[in-house]
Amino acid sequence: MAPAITLRFLLTLAFVFALASCGEKPPPLARLASSDIVLAFGDSLTYGTGAGPDEAYPKVLSGLIGRQVVGAGVPGETTTDGLERLPAVLDEIKPRLMLLCMGGNDMLRNSDPASIESNLRAMVQMARARGIGVALIGVPTPELFGSPPEFYGRLAKTLSLPLENKVMQEVLFDHGLKSDPIHPNAKGYRRVAEAVAALLRRAGAV
């Protein structure tokens, strides 16, 4: 009887921990009014390379959260490029929230991870200085079974950012969700949009 009780206890404990992990709340974001604008800032993964204009994740996300989501993705852009471009985009769009998804092109060019992290940090701080909330989307390293580098989690922790650090890895490891080796297809982008929408709900933004 004792072994059975122990096994049952361990299984229950594992289930409780799993539930706790799934329901863990990210750092909070300000609630978005229906008129507030969300800026999706990034590279080709934000632009929607590999799918149609209406199938990119920002466009799909807009329908899921009932807010205007402006996609500002530039294919091939690095975090250094993004840092230079961001001020003008923020001043033009005047978003209430920015979704930041960058770093993949830096990694493809074997850029120094410390430099990528520094650029991402500067972009977050630039947005916050304008009163704009920020959520971060991690990108996996461009290698077989690559995962998002540690700096995404470190930035999320030190800057108290909501972080979606799994969906890009899951999508880019699933051939049925990709249009080419490094870009999702329409189904993949919808999966990304659904994960980001769930993150925003858990953070209280919508």
**pTM score of the predicted model:** 0.87
Would 118 be classed as within a structural domain? yes
Would 141 be classed as within a structural domain? yes
Least confident of 23-32, 94-103, 129-138: 23-32
Q: How confident is the model over 167-184, as pLDDT tens digits?
A: 999 999 999 999 998 899
The band of 13, judged by pLDDT with boundaries at 50, 70 and 90, is: very low
Total number of domains constituting the chain: 1
The answer to whether 117 and 151 are in contact (CB under 8 A) is yes
Integer Cα distance of 187 and 193 in angstroms: 10
Would 19 be classed as within a structural domain? no
CATH of the domain at 176: 3.40.50.1110
Dump strand ranges (E) for 8-160: 37-42, 68-73, 97-101, 133-137
Q: How confident is the model over 81-116, as pLDDT tens digits?
A: 999 999 999 999 999 999 999 999 999 999 999 999
Would 16 be classed as within a structural domain? no
